[in-house]
Structure 1
Amino acid sequence: MATKKANIIALIVIALVGFLLFRQDVSPSIEETVEVKLAATLSQIEGVGQVSVYFHTEASAESTLFSFSENEKKATYTGVLIVSEGAQSPIIRRQLQEAVSAVLQLPAHQIIILPMKKEDHHES
Structure 2
Amino acid sequence: MTAPIPTNVHYHQQARELELTYPGDERHRLPCEYLRVFSPSAEVRGHGKGQETLQVGKKFVGLKDITPTGRYALKLHFDDGHDSGLYSWDYLWWLIQHREANWAEYLERLEAAGASREPLGIQIRQL
Q: Could you tell me the TM-score, scaled by structure 2's length? A: 0.25
When Rg is computed on C-alpha atoms for both structures, the one with the higher figure is: 1
Structure with the higher fraction of residues in strand conformation: 2
Q: Could you tell me the TM-score, scaled by structure 1's length? A: 0.25
